[in-house]
């Protein structure tokens, strides 16, 4: 990244020798690749500023292009981020499939559960935290809730 910045500074100093518009195209490609790699639209909004600077490059000086890229990129980032958050929050399904399969169900202890222990439940290793009486191997326990990565359990009364 440092080499790229130094290269841009060098080319700005010697801009009469070359067309500076290609820098904006490279930056547009970089943000597109970053967006594809991160599955995040954050860089796309900045890329709008680079696109505007590239288009302005046919008519204005490079320093004006940099100002355009910064201002339009900043405005697009602020507005686009608000739109993205609103859209993403609204369209994320709240389908607690895994939670429904575990909370409120009973399971059989593979080993003694007194405090915290790890056990395989439905093919996944979970950290169990017992808040009731000790559970002996072969006895039933029920899952009350999930806190962080721990299942909070209690011995099932017969």
What pLDDT, on the 0 to 100 scale, is given for residue 124? Answer: 82
Beta carbons within 10 angstroms of residue 94's beta carbon = 4
Residues 87 and 151 in one domain: no
Residues 79 and 101 in one domain: no
Asked which of 41, 68, 91 is the last residue of a domain, the reply is: 91
Is the entire prediction scored with pTM above 0.85? Answer: no
* pLDDT higher than 90, residue 36: no
Residues 51 and 114 in one domain: no
Give the Å distances, CA to CA, from 112 to 23, 68, 130.
Answer: 64, 66, 10
Q: Which domain holds residue 47?
A: 2-91
> Tokens 């010697």 identify what position?
14
51's tokens: 């696109």
What pLDDT, on the 0 to 100 scale, is given for residue 142? Answer: 92
What pLDDT, on the 0 to 100 scale, is given for residue 41? Answer: 78
Sign of CA dihedral 17, 20, 22, 26: positive
34 pLDDT band (50/70/90 cuts)? confident
What pLDDT, on the 0 to 100 scale, is given for residue 126? Answer: 87
Report the pLDDT averaged over residues 98-119.
85
120's tokens: 């395989």
């Amino acid at each position: 990244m440092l080499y790229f910045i130094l290269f841009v500074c060098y080319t700005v100093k010697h801009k009469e020798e070359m067309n500076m518009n290609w820098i904006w195209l490279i930056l547009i490609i970089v943000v597109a690749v970053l967006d594809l790699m991160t599955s995040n639209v954050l860089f796309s909004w900045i890329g709008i500023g680079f696109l505007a600077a590239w288009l302005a490059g046919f008519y204005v000086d490079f320093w004006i292009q940099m100002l355009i890229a910064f201002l339009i990129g900043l405005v697009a980032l602020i507005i686009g981020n608000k739109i993205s958050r609103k859209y993403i929050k609204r369209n994320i399904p709240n389908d607690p499939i895994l939670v429904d399969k575990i909370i409120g169900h009973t399971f059989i202890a593979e080993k003694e559960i007194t405090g915290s222990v790890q056990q395989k439940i439905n093919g996944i290793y979970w950290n169990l935290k017992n808040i009731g009486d000790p559970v002996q191997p072969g006895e039933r326990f029920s899952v009350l809730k999930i806190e962080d990565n721990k299942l909070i359990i209690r011995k099932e009364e017969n």
